[in-house]
Amino acid sequence: MEGRMEGTGGLGALATIAYRNIWRNGRRTALCVVAVAIAVFFNIFMQSWIDGMMDSIEEVVRTFETGHVNVVSSGFEAEREYCPVQYPIAEGRSADELADEIEALPGVRAALPRITAYATLFDSTVKHALLWGVRPARELAINHWNLTDRDDGLVAGRFPGEGANECAIGAALARKTGLGIGDKLPLKTVSAQFSDKYWSPTIVGVFEFDYARYDEGVILVSFERLGRILGLGGATQQLFVYAEEAGRSAELRDEVARLLGPGHVVREWADNYWVAVMRQSSFLYVIVFAVFQVVASFLIVNTVLMVIHERIKEIGMMGALGMTRREIVLVFFFEALILSVIGALAGCLLGGLVTKVGSLFPIDTEVFTGGGMKDLPFSGTIFIAFSPANIARGFAFGVAVSAACTILPSLKSAFVEPVEALRR
């Protein structure tokens, strides 16, 4: 008998028996499948939503806050809050020299110098803004500034030319100040030597990055010009290093740190507070997902228990005809497994469909920030992430949890005494 079973396919035969058994009570099967499907769907949807949010945060952080690897001096790091300009990187060396050296490292796409400094605006209802000294042409070869439309974010005019007495401002800032292209923007900032610098660049462009902090409060100016005004002598306040592969950021960080020596703080983007917080909280979500999956698995557990009880005579018969206890247990376990696979498949189908459709529609983050939370690195629009990997993970997680929950109840069938059972 044992030999014949092996001959007819062993596990395959057991699975066939299990599959046929599922359809003996359609309603019960349907309820089990629905429960597992709901849990799997929920988990896939939640994960896609969280991923969408994380993608947005990570992209904003990489584009505007840190790059892949961020270099500042220790002096700047200590007073980061008010963007001090008196602590340039590798004092005495020019930004270009430094950038060339870092770009010579393997795996580096670009090392972009940037300067940020607070500015007080004159003759304006808006009192302050952030000066952002960059090289637009080089930046845009690496980054999209508007992360939603994936373009340079210009809505009118152009970006300031290298070294020119020009600036571009965010659309929200333009609206609030009532200024437009061709107007002068008188402002004051404080140089590296602590002297007041008065400046009045001409607005040549208006941009919309769909990132509230920048659209409302940033004046984009030429890196060269700002560096000159602030008395940096060709040095830079920050370096944003972009790698060929984002995954290699940690190695790159160590290499850059070695290159620059002490007195600098070199960070990779994943060290950013918000990225770290989001990553840390992901274990909480796994707990939530597990609770859902376990509650759904209770149905299958109950089903297995009931099925063993119902079919006690059959178990006796199967045993009498020579099936081993292991095979009998497997029949019930397979029955549970097939239920969870069908449920998980249904959940994946639904989850895939909903996240695919959801990923096509932008979600305005204003809905849950209400215009506050300006310091959160969020783009103004986020999308639910549609990812086959998430769906596959949801499937595997659903089946694994259900299977783990049903092992114990299936074992119950091993304790049935065939001779006793036949008499029941």
Task: Work out whether 184 is an interface residue with other proteins (CB under 8 A).
Answer: no
Residue 171 CB partners (closer than 8 Å, separation 6+): 155, 206, 207, 208, 215
Q: Can you tell me which of 4, 27, 326, 423 binds other proteins, judged by CB under 8 A?
A: 27
- H or E stretch at 25: none
Residue 202 CB partners (closer than 8 Å, separation 6+): 165, 166, 167, 182, 183, 184, 185
Contact region with other proteins (CB under 8 A), list: 219-227, 260-268, 301-309, 384-392 = 301-309
Q: Can you tell me which of 12, 182, 262, 371 binds other proteins, judged by CB under 8 A?
A: 371
Adjacent-strand bridge partners of 219: 131, 169
Three-state DSSP class for residue 216: helix
Site string (55-94) toward other proteins, x via CB under 8 A = ------------------------x-xx-x----------
Indicate the residue among 13 and 278 with the shorter CB distance to other proteins.
278
Smallest separation (angstroms) from other proteins to the CB of 84: 7
Contact region with other proteins (CB under 8 A), list: 134-142, 251-259, 291-299, 343-351 = 291-299
Smallest separation (angstroms) from other proteins to the CB of 5: 29
Task: Work out whether 39 is an interface residue with other proteins (CB under 8 A).
Answer: yes
Task: Work out whether 313 is an interface residue with other proteins (CB under 8 A).
Answer: no
Q: Can you tell me which of 372, 404, 417, 420 binds other proteins, judged by CB under 8 A?
A: 372
Angle between helices 249-260 and 95-103 (to 10 degrees): 130
Indicate the residue among 128 and 279 with the shorter CB distance to other proteins.
128
Adjacent-strand bridge partners of 156: 206
Q: Can you tell me which of 61, 185, 299, 382 binds other proteins, judged by CB under 8 A?
A: 299
Smallest separation (angstroms) from other proteins to the CB of 378: 11
Contact region with other proteins (CB under 8 A), list: 11-19, 259-267, 362-370, 396-404 = 362-370
Adjacent-strand bridge partners of 118: 130
**Structure-block tokens of residue 10:** 């062993």
Task: Work out whether 287 is an interface residue with other proteins (CB under 8 A).
Answer: no
Angle between helices 273-280 and 282-310 (to 10 degrees): 10
Phi, psi of 284 (to 5 degrees): -65, -40
Site string (255-284) toward other proteins, x via CB under 8 A = ------------------xx--x-------
- Exposed, middle or buried, 245 (CB in 10 Å: 0-12/13-18/19+)? exposed
Smallest separation (angstroms) from other proteins to the CB of 405: 10
Q: Can you tell me which of 9, 368, 396, 420 binds other proteins, judged by CB under 8 A?
A: 368
Adjacent-strand bridge partners of 121: 187
Task: Work out whether 183 is an interface residue with other proteins (CB under 8 A).
Answer: no
Indicate the residue among 108 and 275 with the shorter CB distance to other proteins.
275
Task: Work out whether 292 is an interface residue with other proteins (CB under 8 A).
Answer: yes
Question: Which one-letter amino acid corresponds to residue 129?
Answer: A
Site string (374-413) toward other proteins, x via CB under 8 A = xxx--------------------------------x----
- DSSP characters over 75-139: HHHHTGGG--SS--TTTTS-HHHHHHHHHTSTTEEEEEEEEEEEEEESSSSS-EEEEEEE-HHHH
Indicate the residue among 42 and 242 with the shorter CB distance to other proteins.
42
Angstrom distance (rounded) from CA 225 to CA 199: 11
For residue 101, give Cα distances in angstroms to 222, 255, 276. Answer: 22, 12, 29
Q: Can you tell me which of 14, 95, 98, 190 binds other proteins, judged by CB under 8 A?
A: 190
Angstrom distance (rounded) from CA 147 to CA 396: 32
Adjacent-strand bridge partners of 69: 241, 268
Task: Return residues touching other proteins (CB under 8 A).
Answer: 25, 27-28, 31-32, 34-35, 38-39, 42, 79, 81-82, 84, 118, 120-128, 176, 188, 190, 273-274, 277, 288, 291-292, 295-296, 298-299, 301-303, 305-306, 309-310, 366-376, 409
